[in-house]
Amino acid sequence: MAREFTSVGVVGLGTMGAGIVEVFARNGIDVVAVEISAPALERGQATLTRSTDRAVAKGKLDPADRDALLDRVTFAVGLDALHAVDLVIEAVPEHLDLKQRIFAELDRVCKPDAILATNTSSLSVTEISVATSRPNQVIGIHFFNPAPVMKLVEVIRTVVTSADVVADVEALCARLGKVDVTINDRAGFIANALLFGYLNHAVALFESNYASREDIDAAMKLGCGLPMGPLALMDLIGVDTAYEILDTMYRRGGRDRRHAPVPLIKQMVTAGLLGRKSGRGFYTYERPGSPVVVPDEATPVAPADAFSEGGRAIAKVGVVGSGTMATGIIEVFARAGYEVVSVTRGAEKSASICEAVKTSLNKGVVRGKLSEEERDGALGRITWSATLDHLADVDLVVEAVVEELSVKKALFASLDEICKPGVVLATTTSSLPVIEMAMATQRPADVVGLHFFNPAPVMQLVEVVRTIRTAPETVATARAVCAALGKTSVVCGDRSGFVVNALLFPYLNDAVKMLEASYSTTDDIDHAMKLGCGYPMGPFELLDVVGLDVALAIQRELYLELREPGFAPAPLLEHLVTAGYLGRKTGRVFRDHTHR
């Protein structure tokens, strides 16, 4: 029989603590909520009230249930109030000495059979536990932010945590409606170990002006379907808390440079820019604690103005190539009202791409996405050709041929000869340096990357890649075109992986390394990212969709360009590719290997 918890204590009512109080009280458990001072207690109480009021306003909580919930919570200053509770969860700032002091005190105050839990994200639960005389009753219960919403709880057992305590806490998580994964005590556990390298990398991109905060966040939301971008997430977590987690992970997790906090993070902490809780972090908020972003000096001017600045008029577009991307891109332009010239390497290829575009448009009609007139209009705007010479009078060329540098360079040299002056020449490459193609022409200022995502008619995002030679008006034109296509464009520099792949693939590679180290299972890692971070797919599910060979190729490029040891492809990924486990397309997926 699992142990019955009738009352629990929560220490520290900040970002996490206040949410944890809400989780317990909502589930009928009495809570003693403790802070260090009266003003801090008041702040914590106000957070709880605001959050429950919001739930009532949204119709997610009955007013009577809110009152009952609040009645279950007793507030107090100091740990003495915790003498009678069955379980304590500590959620004070991420400092080992502070947590050890609190655990020593809890050990003294709490009844002998009380379980003492920490919500630490990165510190060693074992080191915290030895500050007490009952390390076998100490455990990690790691909630995710915001605690009332996120389904995942990581339960961390140390080598001495008793099996009964683990089982009781697992049963308690189920009672709270949470999904738990139970794991050993390692820096960052599952989710943070995979999340924080990515967050730090995103801050590094922002710090180096590689892309704006809005563009980095939009890229990850629209390119990967994440619930929020990395910089907005840093603000939600708390920039100070993120700093401490990174710092601890760096020191505990093998001194991986990717966890060494980017200098900007420390500067922001020193300047009091802590994120939502202080009203300002990477973004500015209506007031401290508010989730509402307000414009500040870094907010970009309204896109409509930016697009009119120096942008060239585009009416006729050439699309070179006959593969999946070219097909989608032709459709996107034709549907948006552009004249399109499709150029392939032969009449046969032109016939087949024409068929593919027709099929896709017909599907759109069947699904009610466009009318028959719109379909016919779009088709009427497309000319099918097998000669580059037909691009002599277009205003923009989008190249989507095979991902081979020599082929693309030769194509750009030909376009340079054929196209009229002032044309924007764009490549859809996802891994080659755009500057290489620009330098194959005599007009590098007119060359830009337009990185569409697959399937182009569906995916909202386009990365606009500016090289060190791209003219501002070329970028402005590219952005204006994306807007006219109904897409969201983000501008970034010409580095391997642009924004999305540079941030996504190292994370996927890290997940493979975690599996390889036998820390957890494919299912638990997938669960942790979906339920703890709100990702639409776990890393292994996504690898199966993307293709393990594609992931390996991108990871190799990133590694070769940056020579970052942490980016070296996971040996397991290399071996699976060699063995033909390429994901869904081959019918041999990650789980087939791990579930042998």
Ligand X SMILES: NC(=O)c1ccc[n+]([C@@H]2O[C@H](COP(=O)([O-])OP(=O)(O)OC[C@H]3O[C@@H](n4cnc5c(N)ncnc54)[C@H](O)[C@@H]3O)[C@@H](O)[C@H]2O)c1
Catalytic residue among 94, 119, 122, 142: 142
> Cα separation of 284 and 44, whole Å?
22
CB of 249 to ligand X, least distance (A): 11
Q: Is residue 171 close enough to count as binding ligand X by CB under 6 A? A: no
Catalytic residue among 192, 200, 431, 489: 192
Q: Is residue 423 close enough to count as binding ligand X by CB under 6 A? A: no
State which residue, 19 or 538, has the beta carbon closest to ligand X: 19
> Cα separation of 451 and 498, whole Å?
9
State which residue, 142 or 349, has the beta carbon closest to ligand X: 142
Point out which span in 32-40, 131-139, 347-355, 420-428 binds ligand X (CB under 6 A). Answer: 32-40
Q: Is 518 left (phi over 0), alpha (psi -120 to 50) or beta?
A: left
Point out which span in 6-14, 211-219, 457-465, 478-486 binds ligand X (CB under 6 A). Answer: 6-14
Residues 231-270 that bind ligand X (CB under 6 A): 237-238, 241, 245
Q: Provide the residue count of the chain.
A: 596
State which residue, 274 or 330, has the beta carbon closest to ligand X: 274
Point out which span in 35-43, 61-69, 343-351, 579-587 binds ligand X (CB under 6 A). Answer: 35-43
State which residue, 93 or 346, has the beta carbon closest to ligand X: 93
- Residues of 342-369 as b/e, b for ≥16 C-beta within 10 angstroms? bbbeeeebbeebbebbeebbeebeeeee
Residue 121 annotated among the catalytic residues of the structure:
yes
CB of 103 to ligand X, least distance (A): 11
Task: State which of residues 12, 281, 321, 583 lies at the interface with ligand X (CB under 6 A).
Answer: 12
On the CB side of 55, CA atoms within 13 Å amount to: 22
> Cα separation of 158 and 171, whole Å?
18
The tokens for 518 are 């036998």
> Cα separation of 430 and 451, whole Å?
6
Task: State which of residues 5, 9, 10, 17 lies at the interface with ligand X (CB under 6 A).
Answer: 17
Asked if 319 and 349 count as a contact pair (C-beta separation under 8 A), the reply is: no
State which residue, 15 or 52, has the beta carbon closest to ligand X: 15
Nearest residue to the partner ligand X, using Cβ:
14
Residue 142 annotated among the catalytic residues of the structure:
yes
Asked if 213 and 298 count as a contact pair (C-beta separation under 8 A), the reply is: yes
Catalytic residue among 51, 119, 121, 278: 121
Please give the radius of gyration of the chain, using alpha carbons only, rounded to the nearest integer.
27
> Cα separation of 1 and 410, whole Å?
73
State which residue, 246 or 551, has the beta carbon closest to ligand X: 246
CB of 175 to ligand X, least distance (A): 20
Q: Is residue 36 close enough to count as binding ligand X by CB under 6 A? A: yes
Task: State which of residues 8, 11, 155, 398 lies at the interface with ligand X (CB under 6 A).
Answer: 11
Sheet with 179-184, strands from edge to edge, namely: 73-77, 30-35, 7-11, 87-90, 115-118, 138-143, 152-157, 179-184
Q: Is residue 13 close enough to count as binding ligand X by CB under 6 A? A: yes
SS3 annotation, 217-245: HHHHHHHHCCCCCHHHHHHHHCHHHHHHH
> Cα separation of 330 and 92, whole Å?
55
Residue 154 annotated among the catalytic residues of the structure:
yes
- Quick note: the x/- pattern for ligand X over 271-300, rule CB under 6 A, is ------x-----------------------
State which residue, 121 or 430, has the beta carbon closest to ligand X: 121
Size of the site for ligand X (CB under 6 A): 27
Helix, strand or coil, per DSSP, at residue 582 = coil
CB of 488 to ligand X, least distance (A): 27
Catalytic residue among 154, 170, 339, 557: 154
CB of 167 to ligand X, least distance (A): 23
Asked if 448 and 474 count as a contact pair (C-beta separation under 8 A), the reply is: yes
Whose tokens are 């290997």? That residue is 593
Residues 113-142 that bind ligand X (CB under 6 A): 119-121, 142
> Cα separation of 397 and 466, whole Å?
16
Alpha helices in 288-404 (DSSP H): 303-308, 324-335, 347-366, 372-380
State which residue, 16 or 329, has the beta carbon closest to ligand X: 16
Q: Is residue 350 close enough to count as binding ligand X by CB under 6 A? A: no
Residues in contact with ligand X by the rule CB under 6 A? 11-17, 34-36, 40, 91-94, 102, 119-121, 142-143, 145, 237-238, 241, 245, 277
Residues taking part in catalysis: 121, 142, 154, 192
